[in-house]
Amino acid sequence: MSIQIFGLPVSRGVAIGRAVLIASSRVDVPHVFIDPARTEEEIARLLTARDVVATEFDALKRDLPADAPAELAAILDVHQMLLQDEALVGAALDWIRQRHYNAEWALSAQLEVLARQFDEMEDAYIRERKVDLEQVVERMLRSIGRGSPSPMPDPGQNARDFGGDEPLILVASDIAPADMVSFKRSVFCGFVTDVGGKTSHTAIVARSMDIPAVVGARQASGLIRQDDCIIIDGDAGLVIVDPSPIVLEEYRFRQRQAELERGRLARLRHTPAVTLDGERIELLANIEMPEDSPGALEAGAVGVGLFRSEFLFMNRAGNLPDEEEQYDAYRRAVEAMKGLPVTIRTVDIGADKPLEGMSSSELRHESVLNPALGLRAIRWSLSEPSMFRRQLRALFRAAVHGPVKILIPMLASQREIRQTLENIAHVQRQLTDAGKPFGQCELGAMIEVPAAALTMPIFLRHFDFVSIGTNDLIQYTLAIDRADEAVAHLYDPWHPAVLQLLHTTIAQARAAGKGVSVCGEMAGDPAFTELLLSMGLRSFSMHPTQIASVKQRVLRADTRRLAPLLDQVLSCEDPEAACTQALLTGAAAIAPKPMAA
């Protein structure tokens, strides 16, 4: 029977494919597609874990004291039976052979299948045996984790390498940032999660992959089963499970239309972004790894406006990259951009991007009820000066190979600015004393905290440029957690307070002769292009897949005619409606409704 599940639309388009579920577990489970050539090796990891746990159960039963209740021995017998049951281990092996899941993922996927079967049983006693199954699987997962890690697959592999001709759609309660790093270049054509907001980490990565996604879909992972045929309507925030043939054909038609539109936009990739009145607009790319640089050039970016360096720090079990590894990564990104500027943000760890294996001082972050307000970004870097200086040295050394700009995230006070500048000066002295060549870098501050936006003169005295991170600026201005689906409806980039902060930040930077860009999600949303142009913004940074759509709006814009738009939008109670109406009427004058007192 076909069902519909509604959530938040966060990445547009249509995806049709088979569901791949990631089950929740008390044990951290890595989700990795293995190289098909290493299938037997992965099978051996699973069987070895089974044998180790079986030996543990035998030892536990043998060492039971004489006065132990008979039920304990019976429970161990049940666990041994479950351990040898083909419905568990045999089926998990099939996930490895057919879908090329790593051993941990295969076992947790089969646990999800069996757990649902237990839930549907009428007999209460049998139904409660699900707990025994979960305990057995948890013990096996811990045993697997003590062995060799799963090998990473070739990023060039596609869905046909992992279980047939049909595309795959990832379904989960939530997707950890570490998993998103692994999946970024993998086989999925869409994402569905129970939780998350429009600018949650999952949503941002889905947009960066240019694939449809729906988040905040509540019970999606409980309603969708492994291998269900599902449709993601990324425009409506709709997930359709087991669609009828008529619905399936309709969405396939929409997919073909979208493909044609992408082809039309692709023709603009090397057209200069110049407005009708001759204003040259800088369209930059947001990237996450050095390997993203060629894609940025191919999309027509004239530089990198945001290199999120924290992705170099993820999926490392707490073993942070050293100076040489970072230098090599930054150098590769700079050289790949062939002389175009590369803006690299220092590590922005925290909130929805925690690190594994954090040190004692970092553990303070873990205890914060709302991590978005805790030890993150520059706060974390300043609390770990050796790590921060290691990254700064790598950045300055990479600047020998091309133009590098350094961007500092989440600055909010004069004290943080002073400490940052002291660290930079210290690093430059270290490099000079060591005789290591380094380049000169422009230094920028991210404006993503209202305190920074409201004290712009201080920032403009110390920095060469500013970059507005709208995702966090909106979050902190409106006092909501942007990753929490319970308040996701309150996340409003059109809120008058947000627009006022954007306008004044851009205006003050331009008046001071300093560069200003927007690198948050608003920059890549064509709905905001004309409004940002009217504010005086001339530098936009976005994921490469969004450049063509924004460039199309730029090429059709006349900044002289957009001048009346700003006053109309800022003076209205409903800025989004005012902007839409003004653009429909050619930015003609509107009688604005006065703001409520």
Which residues are the active-site residues?
Answer: 201, 519
Q: Is 553 annotated as a binding residue?
A: no
CA distances from 141 to 45, 88, 372, 402 (A): 11, 13, 31, 46
* Helix %, strand %, coil % of the chain (to 5): 50, 15, 35
Give the contacts of 308 (CB within 8 A, at least 6 positions apart).
286, 287, 288, 345, 348
Burial of 60 (0-12, 13-18, 19+ CB in 10 A): middle
Q: To 5 degrees, how large is the angle CA 349–CA 350–CA 353?
A: 75
d(CA 207, CA 201): 10
DSSP 520: S
- Plot region of 465 (φ>0 → left; ψ -120 to 50 → alpha; else → beta): beta
Give the contacts of 455 (CB within 8 A, at least 6 positions apart).
none
Helix (H) or strand (E) holding 531: helix 529-534
Q: Is 319 annotated as a binding residue?
A: no
Q: Is 129 annotated as a binding residue?
A: no
> Is residue 243 a contact partner of residue 18, using CB atoms and an 8 Å limit?
no
CB neighbours of residue 488 within 10 Å: 23
Q: Is 471 annotated as a binding residue?
A: yes
> Is residue 357 a contact partner of residue 320, using CB atoms and an 8 Å limit?
no
Single-letter amino acid, residue 34: I
Cα Rg of the chain, angstroms: 26
Single-letter amino acid, residue 577: A
The torsion angle over the Cα atoms of residues 472, 478, 479 and 480, rounded to 10 degrees, is -70
Expressed in angstroms, the distance from the first to the final Cα of the chain is: 52
Strand order in the sheet with 238-241: 3-6, 238-241, 229-233, 14-22, 168-172, 188-193, 213-215, 8-11
For residue 483, what are its two tokens? 């990753």
Closest CA to 518 of 477, 559, 478, 473: 473
Helical ranges in 85-237 per DSSP H: 91-99, 103-119, 124-127, 130-145, 177-183, 201-208, 220-223
Could you list the residues known to form a binding site, using ranges: 308, 345, 448, 471-472, 482
Could you list the residues known to form a binding site for phosphoenolpyruvate, using ranges: 308, 345, 471-472, 482
